[in-house]
Amino acid sequence: MRILGWLAVMVMIPAVAACSSGAPAPSVPGATSGGTPAGASASSPVSPSPGGPSASSTAPAASDPTSALPDPCTLITKAEGAVAVTAPVSDGVHELVSTPELGTGRNCSFKVAAGGDGEATTMTFPSPGDLWDTYKLGQGLFGPVKNLAGVGDKAFTVGNGECDVVKGAVLLIVKLFPADKFKTDPEPRTIALCKQAVARL
């Protein structure tokens, strides 16, 4: 009887161990494949495994620091860019950019369609806020800085080919490199292009 009792205890131990061994729950395979575990809410944090799908593929747009910024390629038209550059331009090419002063922003380049020199560039960044004056002072390293009244909330030009404007929470930068090699003063065209872009913010 004592032997039979011992055998019964030995049989029960593996059975209990199997129930409490921490076997993978259904959510583990789902998390590995990037899916949402069964029964989990959409807000439940699920960390993808290394090498698995990027979290950005299903994360809300707010996780992208540039998602709230206007698309700079929509702020001027090709026709407006052509007038400013003094030559026909190609469609704008969009890319993300980053600077130590402004952080991450968006850039769009409208280059001369036939190749060669000449380009209009629009960029959007978060407003520098209280650092506006510091930013403006730093831009003076690239050319004479002049206040530009009546454009956005506040604005200035740098040299004769750049315009910087704050409107709301956005900093807009417009740069112009003319195809005519500066045979004509590009400043009036830079300011005109800047105003056209600000109107679409």
Within a 10 A sphere around the Cβ of 196, how many other Cβ atoms? 18
- What radius of gyration do the chain's Cα atoms show? 29
Q: Give backbone dihedrals phi and psi of 102, rounded to 5 degrees, phi first.
A: -110, -10
Q: Give backbone dihedrals phi and psi of 154, rounded to 5 degrees, phi first.
A: -165, 150
Token representation of residue 67:
């998602």
CA distance 12 to 114: 82
> Which pLDDT score is estimated for 46?
37
Residue 161: is its pLDDT beyond 50?
yes
pLDDT in tens, 14-57: 443 443 444 443 333 333 333 333 333 333 333 333 433 333 33
> Which pLDDT score is estimated for 63?
65
Residue 166: is its pLDDT beyond 60?
yes
> Which pLDDT score is estimated for 62?
53
CA distance 136 to 9: 81
CA distance 111 to 87: 9
- Identify the residue with better confidence: 1 or 91: 91
- Identify the residue with better confidence: 146 or 6: 146
Residue closest to 69 by CA, chosen among 29, 106, 21, 101 = 106
Residue 60: is its pLDDT beyond 80?
no
CA distance 71 to 16: 60
CA distance 168 to 57: 30
pLDDT in tens, 103-121: 999 999 999 999 889 999 9
For the chain, the average pLDDT equals 78
Write out the E strands in 14-131. 93-99, 103-111, 119-126
Q: Give backbone dihedrals phi and psi of 22, rounded to 5 degrees, phi first.
A: 75, 35
Rounded to an integer, the average pLDDT of 183-188 is 96
CA atoms within 13 A on the CB side of 47: 2
Rounded to an integer, the average pLDDT of 61-75 is 84
> Which pLDDT score is estimated for 15?
42
> Which pLDDT score is estimated for 66?
87
Question: Is residue 171 helix, strand or coil?
Answer: strand
Q: Where are the domains of the chain?
A: 2-59, 72-198
Residue 151: is its pLDDT beyond 80?
yes
Which residues neighbour 145 within 8 Å (Cβ) at sequence distance 6 or greater?
136, 139, 156, 157, 158
Whether the CB-CB separation of 143 and 156 falls below 8 Å is answered with: no
- Identify the residue with better confidence: 123 or 22: 123
